[in-house]
A and B are shown apart, each in its own frame.
Chain A
Amino acid sequence: MGTERKYSFMRRGFYRMRLNCCSYGKFFSSSPPLTPIALPSPKETHLWYVIPSEVKGESLLNKYMEILSPSEKENVLSVGGDELRKSALLARTLVRTTIARYQINSSISPRSLKFRKSIHGKPEVDWQQGDHCEPPPLHFNISHTSSLVACGVTVNSPIGVDVEAKQRTVKHNVLTLARRYFSEHELEALTAIKDPQLQHQEFMKLWTLKEAYVKALGRGFSGAPFKTFTIRFGSAIGASEISVDLLDDPSDLTCNWQFMLLELAGSHYAAICTEKDVTNEGNTKGPVKLTVWKTIPFVEDKCVSGTETVRILCGSR
């Protein structure tokens, strides 16, 4: 029996990891497998998230390293600082384990998944063609902060996810940031809020929504500069709706996109942007069903939608 390389994740005093050679432990076979989940329907969105500070233990982190591709491992190891490196590792782990749960076919495991970038640089799954396998129309998008990593999954619709800590500080005054990066309407809306804490919160909400939209479009920050579109809260349909319109044609309310804004665990805003499902005889106004899981891959999954942990602030219910 040959020896396998075990990537030692945490080494006191080192930023660069040394590769250790040692034989495989038995821990891999004794851990619970990933809970299989049915693919979301076209009107559904799934959101999985992990809290890095709750993921402990070198052996668990090493296990996560094992499911990454060689280039992902290299990228993770090149990140400086233990906390940042952990967040980078958890992001890749979350994507791989999440997609593998959907049991597209039995040959897919977290480690076997391959990824590529779209023509505009957005990460997507590179489905390997099996004999009787049609690539499923699964879309995903991840967002990570040092305190929370999230992965959204849809079927048939591009998705953009952004998470930010509610309390995160910004160096500049939020109105200065808004003046430089937001649309006029958004700046006006922010300026109208007099309480600085509320104003800060509204800024963060707008930021996550705008990021989620840009990520759903998949063309990068420069492909859809923040100043070129406006996020509006409320519409003729109802106050809980969020919409986006493009500045060069304000009459063209870009109806294709729908948003959800959540508060997770009382500490983070999460914005999700997806394309509306138009298959139902042109009826695009149906509510989107959102299911949220909090996970520690290979350890535990908890469905938290409908609980205090997930507060839907705005958008389809």
Chain B
Amino acid sequence: MAARIALLKYLRVEARPAQLRNPRLIGGSFSQLFKRQFSEEVRGSFLDKDEVRDRVINCVKNFQKVDPAKVVPNAHFQNDLGLDSLDTVEIVMALEEEFGFEIPDNEADKINSINLAVDFIASHPQAK
């Protein structure tokens, strides 16, 4: 919210023809401001990667078809855990339930190892 207000303030002040003729200048300052405000604002809502890894590993271990001993951070769903496409879809659903947000289908395709799942979830602010 604070970021949004700051943004609007910035835009209102800077709407002068001279500035507008140089969009690159605005763009640069805009993105700096955006990054600074946004990251401070949101840093708190990204989950800690180690915590995510533990929760993902637990989630996958609970999957009946999987041998818990094989569930290590670099385990590949198909090659190491023997999961097929339906299993992978079920794992994605289990992760959605665990972390409370929906993983879009076009991203789900790429989540085929523990590490990739961890990276994806840890970089998503909606993950709980």
Binary A-proximity of B54-97 (CB < 8 A = 1, otherwise 0): 00000000011001001000000001101011100110011000
B106 touches A172 (CB 8 A): no
Contact B105 A171 (CB under 8 A): no
Are A222 and B79 interface neighbours, CB within 8 A?
Answer: no
**Is B108 interfacial (CB-CB < 8 Å)?**
yes
With A171-B63, A172-B90 given, is the CB distance from A225 to B82 under 8 Å? no
Q: A78-B79, A80-B70 are in contact. Are A225 and B105 (CB under 8 A)?
A: yes
Bound CA span A227–B106, Å? 11
In the assembly, what is the distance between CA of A221 and CA of B77, in Å? 16
- Tell me if B108 and A170 are in contact (CB < 8 A): no
B105 and A177 contact, CB distance less than 8 A: no
A222 B106 Cβ-Cβ under 8 A: yes
Q: Do B82 and A164 have beta carbons less than 8 Å apart?
A: no
Number of residues on chain B facing chain A (CB within 8 A):
20
Q: Chain A: residues with CB nearer than 8 A to chain B?
A: 75, 78-81, 83-84, 88, 145-146, 164, 168-172, 176-177, 180-181, 207, 211, 220-222, 225-227
Which positions in B face A, CB cutoff 8 Å? 63-64, 67, 70, 79-80, 82, 84-86, 89-90, 93-94, 105-110
Residues of A close to B84: CB separation below 8 A:
145
A sample of 4 more A-B contacts (CB under 8 A), given A88-B79, A170-B90, A222-B106, is A79-B79, A181-B105, A207-B86, A221-B109
A79-B79, A180-B93 are known contacts. Are A170 and B109 too (CB-CB below 8 A)?
A: no
Contact of B86 among A75, A88, A170 (CB under 8 A): A170
Report yes or no: B90 in contact with A222, Cβ–Cβ below 8 A. Answer: no
Chain A, residue nearest B102 (CB): A180
Compute how far the CA of A177 lies from the CA of B67 in the bound complex, rounded to whole angstroms: 23
CB distance from A131 to the nearest CB of B (A): 40
